[in-house]
Amino acid sequence: MTDFIYLASQSPRRKQLLEQWGIRCELLLPDSSEDAEQLEVVLPGEAPAAYVQRVTNLKLEASLARLKRRGLPLAPVLCADTTVALGRRILGKPSDAADARAMLTDLAGKRHRVLTAVAVGKAVQRGAGRQWAALSTSWVHFEPLTAAQIKRYVDSGEPMGKAGAYAIQGQAALWASQINGSYSGIMGLPAFETAQVLASAGVNLL
């Protein structure tokens, strides 16, 4: 059993959730030479579930290589990726304010999916190590929104860097009339699935 993990994510929400669950974590972030954004490019015709799981696996492979390259103490590495899907259409992080407004306009008055894939890898001194993965799918229904509401929200800056151009733990919660699934998964790290993969990797949990 291990008493800490590496979190290979720049999301402050994921780190906060792990700490709330009593899991000690150390950040394992990309080097300046790594093109982390390139890992999130969508392949032509790729389905949302396949996409989010593929990207998470790529992040994990890159993180385990980073751990080995830096010669850090061995411990499980946790990676995750979240995407918002409207049908088969993948809504990633908005490129700018206009993109964020367009995404939110499309989500307004509709039900959409939030998919978060989580994966844990355990490196060993010799050999390939082991990996565990899980997928969380949740549904969110937004009430109809006016252009003025969307503009105010985008102007707040909160949508930037968020899949689907919103954060459920922020002001966008005021628009979500119905949520089915994992609230923490919509935030970016599903509690149940994360606990399952961490326990499989030998991490001390409640």
Catalytic residue ranges: 81
Render 113-155 in DSSP notation, one character per residue: EEEEEEEEEE--SSS--EEEEEEEEEEEEEPP--HHHHHHHHH
Amino acid, res. 118: V
Radius of gyration of the chain (CA): 17
Q: What is the DSSP letter of 161?
A: T
End-to-end CA distance of the chain: 13
